[in-house]
Amino acid sequence: MTQDIRVLVVDDSAVVRKVFSQELSRAAGIEVVGTAPDPYVARDKIVKLKPDVITLDIEMPRMDGITFLKKLMQYHPLPVIIVSSLTSKGSKLALEALSIGALEVISKPSAAYSVGDMSVQLAEKIKAVAAVRIVAKAPPAKKTGPNAALGSRALAATTNKVIAIGASTGGTEAIKKVLTRLPPNAPGTVVVQHMPAKFTTSFAERLDGLCDMTVKEARDGDTVTNGTVLLAPGNYHMVLRRSGARYYVQVKQGPLVHHQRPAADVLLKSVARYAGANALGIILTGMGSDGAAGLLAMKEEGAPTIAQDEASCVVYGMPKEAVKLGGVDHIEHIDAIAQRALNCLGV
């Protein structure tokens, strides 16, 4: 018999702790073994209760969640899901937590009584990350300088090319690794990362400060052009459209796809339809099967496709499903994907 996933809930709100405990305990395969109002209590309970997964609020008294997470990842690495409020400060802290080693971020409803509404989503994320083996993170390597720009011939060759990327659990770091390896005038790139509203704004700002390309949260009508990355805003689907030689994006509402909005399949299928063989598709780490059908559609239209390999994935779900469906041309380690993409595009 499979043992239940042991969860520790760390939140300074007594109401949130109570509701999380009640709701998660109803989910099959999950046992809430304890709660903690702050990192000091959490530290002792981690030693005593040996949880498999921690849910962590990052804005707490006595010791903030970021400081606690750094210590946890150094001395006792565990899968951590960040539960944060939908504020500018909360979004930026959540992105920092993901860069430190947290695996997922979920938004905390503004009203405490509605916390139960997102318990199903939280339970799914807990099950997805429970088996992930977390190791102490080495300090990031210093970037030696900007990536070399593509030469004039290469730039001409990539005119009207589009790179499309889909990712979920573990995707913030994977996307960063791909985009920071692309030159400043690389083909226009469109990205879907499963992430709540407002968090994508902070994520785009963070990437823009790290990448040679310009990164921004997409707005309806934005042009897809060389040197620019457009990130789908949380709670909105993003699709590619074409007017003559100009590619642009449409940002819209619509039903959830694979329980997600934005969804990678929505973007990739639109890229297949409007860009065809002028595009390149990439599917990165994440739970579920979102993006698999879209990547296959791109391949069937003549676009080269790349999937992240199992060894470098946090969760080998989305790439695995894309491979199973037959939509993948190349399987690469995360560190090799950017170069493979440029090679496939002939630059």
Q: What is the per-residue pLDDT for 178?
A: 98
Which one, of 286, 293, 302, 30, lies nearest residue 161 by Cα? Answer: 302
Which one, of 241, 197, 230, lies nearest residue 109 by Cα? Answer: 197
* Given 168, 202, 270, 312, the catalytic residue: 168
Domains and their CATH numbers in the chain: 5-129 (3.40.50.2300), 152-344 (3.40.50.180)
Tell me the residue length of the chain.
347
pTM: 0.86
CB atoms within 10 A of CB 246: 11
Confidence of residue 198 (pLDDT cuts 50, 70, 90): confident
Cβ neighbours for 162, distance < 8 A, ≥ 6 positions apart: 187, 188, 189, 190, 224, 240, 247, 271, 275, 278, 279, 280
- Res. 170: pLDDT tops 60: yes
Give the residue-averaged pLDDT of 139-159. Answer: 53
Q: What percent of the chain has pLDDT over 70?
A: 88
Confidence of residue 112 (pLDDT cuts 50, 70, 90): very low
* Given 91, 194, 258, 312, the catalytic residue: 194
Q: What is the per-residue pLDDT for 152?
A: 46
Confidence of residue 13 (pLDDT cuts 50, 70, 90): confident
The helix (run of H) or strand (run of E) holding residue 188 is strand 188-193
Give the residue-averaged pLDDT of 74-93. Answer: 84
Q: What is the per-residue pLDDT for 1?
A: 47
Averaged pLDDT of the chain: 89
Give the residue-averaged pLDDT of 307-312. Answer: 97
Which one, of 205, 262, 223, lies nearest residue 91 by Cα? Answer: 205
* Secondary structure (3-state) at 48: helix
Q: What is the per-residue pLDDT for 294?
A: 98
- Res. 94: pLDDT tops 60: yes
Q: What is the per-residue pLDDT for 87?
A: 67
| Of 260 and 63, the one with more pLDDT | 260
Give the Cα separation of 221 and 341 in Å (integer): 26
Confidence of residue 121 (pLDDT cuts 50, 70, 90): confident
Q: Is 290 a catalytic residue?
A: yes
Which one, of 159, 146, 240, lies nearest residue 192 by Cα? Answer: 240
pLDDT digits (tens, 9 = 90+) for 56-74: 998 887 788 889 999 999 9
* Given 11, 212, 290, 309, the catalytic residue: 290
Q: What is the per-residue pLDDT for 116?
A: 58
Give the residue-averaged pLDDT of 124-128. Answer: 90
Provide the phi-psi class of 346: left if phi over 0, else alpha when psi is between -120 and 50, else beta: left
Q: Is 333 a catalytic residue?
A: no
Give the Cα separation of 347 and 170 in Å (integer): 28
Which of 49-63, 150-164, 222-236 shows the lowest mean pLDDT across its residues?
150-164
| Of 131 and 30, the one with more pLDDT | 30
Q: What is the per-residue pLDDT for 154?
A: 43
Q: Is 12 a catalytic residue?
A: no
Q: What is the per-residue pLDDT for 153?
A: 42
Give the Cα separation of 172 and 206 in Å (integer): 10
The angle subtended at Cα 125 by Cα 193 and Cα 320, nearest 5°, is 65
| Of 165 and 108, the one with more pLDDT | 165
Q: What is the per-residue pLDDT for 145?
A: 64
| C-alpha dist (Å) from residue 301 to 43, 189, 275 | 53, 18, 9
Q: What percent of the chain has pLDDT over 90?
A: 68
Give the residue-averaged pLDDT of 91-110. Answer: 86
Distance of CA 228 to the CA centre of its chain: 19
Q: What is the per-residue pLDDT for 53?
A: 96
